[in-house]
Amino acid sequence: MEANDSLVIKAPKKSPLLPRLVVLAFAMVCGVYICFICLKQINTNNGGSTTSNKFLDVKVVRQLCNSSGIEQWEIPLVHYPNPVTFSREECVCNPVRYFAILSMQRSGSGWFETLMNSHINVSSNGEIFGKKDRRANVTAIVNVLDRVYNLDWFSSASKNECNAAVGFKWMLNQGVLEHHEGIVDYFNRNGVHAIFLFRRNLIRRLISVLANSYDKSKKPLNGTHKSHVHSVAEAKVLAKYKPSLNASTLLAELKSVDSRAARAIGYFKSTRHIVLYYEDVVGNRTVSENNKPVYHLLSS
């Protein structure tokens, strides 16, 4: 009987023990988690790359800047970067647009970039993903993009604190197609404007590719390789070389270039983008004299 009593009494005593243990375990897990978060923050603060801090700073600057002149729909597309490497000074509240010129070799992107950079407030930083380690994986790509768009990337094209548009050119064979998911996601999250630049005449492009690779190996201009000539005399020297095309593979080659461009446009269709053709831009005085691409970028 006694045993029965003690059982009856013990039973209610035992049951609160389980919830207590659960609460204790929960508190421990919470404690460990909080410590972990603290350590992580201390680490990022000491480690130089103060991503979370930068994020806060950007938000603070953004709140201080008056966006009243900017259309509501455009607000996600304009940014107020807060560079780590210099101060934007009086232009801290000048909105900055992000762009990327997506192109292929020998399609006029060098010329196009010069056209963009001729605007005082535009900085296009060149072919920065030419180096393989910068495009090894999405993490590496995002690191580079963050630096470019935070105005912390220095190249011969980078300008001053009053930049209104910043970007670079990116060849499709430099990781754009392989890592398209991560890149499209980045572009959408950060309002990056994709400018596709292709060449309509793909045979001319192919001839240029062959001539350029000949120049790379033979270097007829006094032993220097020039991807782009800067005088008529230089152009005449390079034009002496007449590449020959292999007719049996030509069609397949042109088709594969064409489909690569189509694939890229397909991948990026959810981003804000525009498709331009070199022939239309270079042959069109109204476009190049009024710097239409820049106009489009900065005001539409």
Binding-site ranges for ligand NAG (CB under 6 A): 66, 68-69, 94, 120-121, 133, 136-137, 139-140, 160, 162, 164, 221-222, 234, 246, 248-249, 280, 284, 286-287, 292
Looking at the Cβ atoms of 162 and 203, the one nearer to ligand NAG is 162
CB neighbour list of residue 59: distance below 8 Å, 6 or more residues apart:
none
**Shortest Cβ distance from residue 96 to ligand NAG (Å)?**
8
Looking at the Cβ atoms of 237 and 265, the one nearer to ligand NAG is 237
DSSP string, the chain: -HHHHHHHHHHHHHTTHHHHHHHHHHHHHHHHHHHHHHHHHHHHHHTS--HHHHHHHHHHHHHHS--TTS-GGGGGGEE----SSS--GGGTTS-EEEEEEEE-TTSSHHHHHHHHHTSTTEEE---GGGSGGGGSSHHHHHHHHHHHHTT----TT---TT-SEEE-EEEIIIIITTTHHHHHHHHHHHTEEEEEEE-S-HHHHHHHHHHHHHHHHH-TBTTB--SS--SHHHHHHHHT------HHHHHHHHHHHHHHHHHHHHHTTTS-EEEEEHHHHHT-HHHHHTTHHHHHHHH-
**Shortest Cβ distance from residue 164 to ligand NAG (Å)?**
4
**Shortest Cβ distance from residue 142 to ligand NAG (Å)?**
10
Looking at the Cβ atoms of 16 and 69, the one nearer to ligand NAG is 69
**Shortest Cβ distance from residue 169 to ligand NAG (Å)?**
21
Looking at the Cβ atoms of 146 and 234, the one nearer to ligand NAG is 234
- How far is it, in rounded angstroms, from Cα 246 to Cα 88? 54
**Shortest Cβ distance from residue 135 to ligand NAG (Å)?**
9
Looking at the Cβ atoms of 34 and 235, the one nearer to ligand NAG is 235
**Shortest Cβ distance from residue 51 to ligand NAG (Å)?**
16
Looking at the Cβ atoms of 138 and 263, the one nearer to ligand NAG is 138
Looking at the Cβ atoms of 243 and 266, the one nearer to ligand NAG is 243
**Shortest Cβ distance from residue 151 to ligand NAG (Å)?**
12
